[in-house]
Chain A
Amino acid sequence: MTLWLMAGLLFTPLAWAVLTLLTDFSRGRLVSWAGILVQVLVSLGLWLAVARDGGFYYGLGGWDAPLGIELRVDGLAVTFVLLTAVVAGACGLHAGAYIDPDKPWHRYFWPLFWFLWSGLNAVWLGGDLFNLYVGLELISLSAVGLVALGGQAGALRASLRYLLAALLGSLAYLLGVALIYGQFGTLSIAGVATWLSDHPVPSGSGMALALMIAGLALKTALFPLHRWLPPAHGIAKSPVSALLSALVVKASFYIAARLWLELGQPIGSLAAAQLIGLLGSAAVVWGSWLACRQQRLKQVVAYSSVAQIGYLFLLFPLTFSVSETVSLQAQQGMTLQVISHALAKAAMFLAAGNLILSVGSNRVDALAGVSRFLPFSLFSFGLAGVSLMSLPPSGGFAAKWLLLQASLGSGQWWWVLVLLAGGLLSAAYIFRIYRASFLESSGTDQFFHPSRSLEVIPLILAMLALGLGLASDQVLTVMALPFEGEGAP
């Protein structure tokens, strides 16, 4: 059974990528609906299986690590797989209605979309350093392709910038992998961690970890390496922006976090941990500040991603040389932040796309009167905003609460200030949008009303982000499941 689920998870996106390559956009849409259904079911099935039996390692091709590639299927991984199924599924459905099927180049949307999805699944489940590299490239290149799809000069400039940043990040990561292989003779993260647990740390491995994390930080757009992100996320089509902000940046962060949690304690140093935390804080402040100053709606949302990503990097100082409880709290906080930001940001980008479609302009000032005539899309945007401001009962709030507890518990009170200030700053840019939309400019409804299906999808995502806070204990229990060591099922 599990075999089938795994095969389905790895196989469907790739197969659907090929299938949709052979059709045009409209037929690709039908095919993709079926694929989304399959993916959601398979992901859910795997999630349930892991929730029941615990995690396991899965050796591809029947070869175990270190010779073959092993997938690590644990609670965290399947949670992210499920998250991807939900968010990417929603974006796919939205895109089906949102993207103009008559433009001939849009037929290539679906294959790229499915390749992106397969890359994401590969990354969530990956346990092999080089395989993660290939997965990352799969994600980056399809993301670049999606950004550039049918775009004008601005979109191409953004995608080129994105491509160069992503390639540089991958190379830095690969260099780190090369050093790791040179040192440990294996590519399996678990193998390295096991070896390190009963041997002294060999000299020179610090550089390897630093390179990998630096490369991944560049791909995650950690301040000050964030400058490629806002143009790319701001200029892409809304479903694409949603995918990029919600999932793609999380993939590289996820690898960095996995590496840090497995190897950070032996190899890392306090200074490095604090430095990364500091950069994350700077991202929170600087990203929010720039978001407040943007004139265009999607740029606001894109800069907000820069800020929200900053929170994630507080994981590094909060898990280094701290007590077991604090570390657990920080990990849980990070996970909730990833999930809630993915849901909320996807909802926000999709809603922003709807708003732009209705208003006919991407400027923030153009939103005047929207609250009166398009309450629905605005409402989704607002709900997603609640989660980004980390106000209760959203998942963002739960994450912030856990991170607060972790900071206070470890005595690193300076992160508390960052968390609180970040919440207020995000409120500043989100309320700016509310404010613009509440302004009563004219009494007539001159807006285009998008179809209901376009409006419902962001609303559902936003509701999920909001409700996550109430259900976070249940979500966290699945992630903390015991891991069943070696033996595959």
Chain B
Amino acid sequence: MIQALRISAIAIACLMFVAGLAASIWAIAGNPLPESLPQLLSENMSRSGVEHPVTAVLLNFRSYDTLLEIGVLVIAGIAGISMAKTTSLEDPELRTSDSLLYALQRWFVPLMLVLAGYLLWAGADRPGGAFQAGAVLAATGVLMRLGGIPMEFIRPGLLLRLGLALGFTVFLLVALASAIGGDAFLAYPPAMAKTLIVVIESVLTLSIAMVLLALFVSAPVNDAEDPEEGGSS
């Protein structure tokens, strides 16, 4: 009874929230826009080193966002593997003997690898880029994993940590180098902008795939525990 009341109260509150939000959106949609960022963006595109505006925003104009965002991803990866089983990753239960999946995977894996490569390559002047490519790569890995293909490199060892750190490190090194050589943190020299962005994107693709895969794989958990300070001892 109380539960039902509570749920209906929350429902009403959410409805009111939606109504208010919609009203604000409606009102805002009617107001003129004081500033046009897209125009400013297109004026500066030539200095960005790439053709595709979204990539330009992500990896040049607002590259600090992207740097931190990769940080977020790496954090999630770290937090994930901190809970992974450290001894053995090969949980026999995870091996599926599903023949359909196996067949699927035989066909899909190479296809997806190609797709990832294409997405990465396309990123500079067409839709696509590191995130999409990384995601596809990770998905490939997941598929392989589900199919029971052993992937030793995902074991939480130095290799995995190196992989996690790789993309981020390169990005950071570029940022630092730009601070040393150029005039600001993360400011690429215009001549090298394209090269740098492509390099960054490639390593990011690897790293993103690695992190996502690590998070997927580390889901089986270990039993090791710390005594709790705040617990009920």
Contact = CB atoms under 8 A, between A and B. Distances in A.
Would A and B touch once assembled, by the CB under 8 A criterion? yes
Interface of A: 3-4, 6-7, 10-11, 14-15, 17-18, 21-22, 58-63, 66-69, 100, 103-105, 108, 111-112, 115, 118-119, 122, 130-131, 134-135, 137-138, 141-142, 144-145, 148-152, 154-155, 175, 179, 182-186, 191, 195, 199, 202-208, 211, 231, 234-238, 241, 296, 298-299, 302, 353, 356, 361-362
A202 B28 contact: yes
A137 B172 contact: no
Given A112-B79, A154-B232, A205-B28, 4 more contacts: A60-B63, A69-B64, A112-B75, A195-B35
Given A18-B168, A62-B184, A145 B34 contact: no
Contacts of B172: 11, 14-15, 18
B183 A62 contact: yes
A62 B176 contact: no
The interface centre, meaning the residue of A63, A115, A152 with most chain B CB atoms within 10 A of its CB, is A63
Given A108-B79, A138-B72, A195-B34, A61 B65 contact: no
B162 interface: yes
Contact of B185 (A3, A130, A199, A205): A3
B37 to A, nearest CB: 6
A204 B25 contact: yes
Q: Is the interface of B mostly helix, strand, loop or mixed?
A: helix
B231 A152 contact: yes
Interface string B196-233: 00000000000000000000000000001110111111
A44 B26 CA distance: 48
A361 B233 contact: yes
B37 A67 contact: yes
Contact of A207 (B20, B162, B182): B20
B83 A105 contact: yes
Interface residues of B, number: 67
B79 to A, nearest CB: 3
A266 to B, nearest CB: 14
13 contacts: A7-B179, A11-B185, A60-B64, A60-B187, A62-B182, A67-B40, A105-B86, A118-B68, A155-B226, A183-B33, A205-B28, A208-B24, A241-B230
A114 to B, nearest CB: 10
Given A22-B158, A138-B68, A3 B179 contact: yes
Given A22-B165, A204-B25, A3 B37 contact: no
B169 interface: yes
Contacts of B185: 3, 6-7, 10-11, 60-61
Contacts of A118: 68, 71
B175 A11 contact: yes
A155 B82 CA distance: 14
Interface in B74-99: 74-76, 78-79, 81-83, 86
